[in-house]
Amino acid sequence: MATRLYSHPVFLEHLTPAGHPERPDRLRALFSVLEGYDYYALDQVEAPFSDEGALGLVHPASYLKKIKAQIPDPLDEEQLASGMAQPIVNVGQDTYVSPQSWHAVLAATGSALAAVEDVFNGQADNVFIAARPPGHHATADTAMGFCITNTVAVAARYAQSHFGAERVAIIDWDVHHGNGTQDIFDADKDVLFCSTHQSQLYPGTGLVKETGVGNIVNAPLLADSGSREFREAFSTRILPALDNFRPDLILISAGFDGHYLDPLAQLNLIEADYDWATGQVMERADRFCNNRLISFLEGGYDLQGLSFSAAAHITRLMKG
């Protein structure tokens, strides 16, 4: 077995307005790094498309219908030849859809379902999902923060409903708090949500006092925090919570926008921090849940910071 990576060309066809930080070049930059020899053993698989029913594990039908209705029709060949650009529609706070966005959502969801099946059936040591749009800001019924549907939440619900997972842990180290994931699981004692993120940054949630039913652990970091503060928050709040919870499955919302080069935040993390955090979570996956670990790409908007940090994360996953 090996580390499996799911992606799909349709993720490049989810379009955002010119100058928007969540852009197709994010994946292009990552894959340019993964073309190196060090990644020959990475099991790269094209993402399957899920049916829409899987999204119903988290999102109500009324919300999905509303989003689908806003997906614009693609231009025809004559319009494209004339130089017209594919239409882009705003569906929420800084969040957009284009003609292929719904297919991107279904491929991201299909990746999540396949990854859960992989780790429970022993088909992969662990899995990284290189998809866009990201998902952790999407609540059950609201698109926001570049996110349309919450892929990591769908994976957790799928593990519960189809594989009998009794305790699912979600670790979110995106620099922006995963408000959507927290909101979805706020009252579910069987899902642990732990987040370290920059305090007072978008979307303004993630305070220490937000504890759900004892299943929410937030470790906010002040602006200009770096490696020491990040590792301390991880070691003193997140890892002890994970140890006490003893999960059957660990999911990571892996944003790399805490990197010092990222334009949307003010943390000062480096690639080695993501390598370290990945190793710490992998130790718990080995100890508690037979290495069942799935990581989902979330944020990261400086192309160098994103690609090299994600590569460090994937390299650590491949070490098993």
β-bridge pairing 191-198 and 216-221: parallel
User: What b-and-e string marks burial along 42-78, b requiring 16 or more CB atoms within 10 Å of the CB?
Assistant: bbebebebbebebbebbbeeebbeebeeebeeeeeee
Q: What share of the chain is helix, strand, coil (3-state, %, to 5)?
A: 40, 20, 40
Contacts of 282 (CB under 8 A, 6+ apart): 126, 291, 293, 316, 317
Alpha-carbon dihedral 241, 221, 285, 312, rounded to 10 degrees: -170
Catalytic residue among 8, 59, 136, 137: 137
Could you give the angle at which helices 151-163 and 101-121 cross, rounded to 10 degrees? Answer: 40
Angle between helical axes of 271-288 and 303-318 (0-180°, round to 10): 30
Q: How far is 143 from 145, CA to CA, in rounded Å?
A: 7
Q: Which residues are 92's β-sheet partners?
A: 95
Residue 14 annotated to the active site: no
Active site residues: 137
